[in-house]
Amino acid sequence: MSDISRRSFLGRTAVLAGAMMTAKGSLSGRAEAAGESDLPFIDYHAHLGGEVTLERALEISRRRGVKFGIVEHAGTKANKYPNLLSNDDDLKKYLDMLAGKPVFRGIQAEGLDWMTCFSKELVAQLDYVLSDALTLPEKDGRRVELWKPGLKIDDRQEFMDRYTEFHVQVMAREPLDILANPTYLPPLLAQDYDALWTPPRTERIIDAALQYGVAIEISSWARLPSLAVLRQAKRAGAKFSFGSNIHGLDVGNLDYARQMARELGLKRSDLFRPAPVGQKPIERRLVS
């Protein structure tokens, strides 16, 4: 399996996704908000890095008319990311860097064991925590990074059942605010999305989101979940967040989220907002 980091993979695919959206005549910046509802468009899945310094991100945020929630990868050293936050000192410096800036402060939690790295009191200073199911533990204990090429799946249905349950496990075991990249499929399965993500499987994920108070991200990078899944989630009463998850100068591009918001008729009451002090998941949930 070639050594491709999640960050470099997302950066490459963002270029393609951006080109596709431009080809379809999608809009960007403040102009795209004209004629839309007064929904607050907040990119809760914005990353710094490379050309996107904090100062550049703030300029892009102003130009797009999209407020940013800045996230950095956080977890044990088993997770190989530049600028990984892996202890309280790292997290404190990160919080201080963003203090007083017109952004929300979050982390992208990596692995079910990320909470072993940090004190609850410091995590509670974050505006939110998001995580995803893209690093799946295999039955033999290996961690499989689903975005990397070379993945082999012998039994697609068995894989989907395990993957569905791992989405649930992520929400059950972690004090999360947002489930990021929901219903992502590795490239060898992506063309069969509608067939593999059956209503009973997506219902399991939606029910868990409701049970644990986790918002479902509408990802502009992955262009997921599908409209059908989002309609199922809206009928159930789920909350939604918007995220670009784009590493590069197209950060904050929420074209897909805007499209889905129009299709679903989303209102402010349907959208995630960071919990107040004392009500954050880390403060109100007992997690293993």
Q: In 3D, which of 207, 130, 240, 135 has the Cα closest to residue 174?
A: 130
Q: What is the pLDDT along the chain (288 residues), one digit of tens a residue?
A: 333 455 555 554 444 444 444 333 333 444 344 335 589 999 999 999 999 999 999 999 999 999 999 999 999 998 888 899 999 999 999 999 999 999 999 999 999 999 999 999 999 999 999 999 999 988 777 888 898 888 889 999 999 999 999 999 999 999 999 999 999 999 999 999 999 999 999 999 999 999 999 999 999 999 999 999 999 999 999 999 999 999 899 999 999 999 999 999 999 999 999 999 999 999 998 775
- Is-above-0.85 flag for pTM? yes
Alpha carbons 22 and 91: distance in angstroms, whole number: 37
Alpha carbons 156 and 153: distance in angstroms, whole number: 6
Torsion-angle region of residue 237: left (phi > 0), alpha (psi -120 to 50) or beta? left
pLDDT computed for residue 288 by the predictor: 58
Q: What is the CATH number of domain 6-25+40-284?
A: 3.20.20.140
Structure tokens at 10: 């997302």
Radius of gyration of the chain (CA): 18
Q: In 3D, which of 130, 144, 210 has the Cα closest to residue 178?
A: 130
Peptide bond between residue 225 and the one before it cis (omega within 30 degrees of 0) = yes
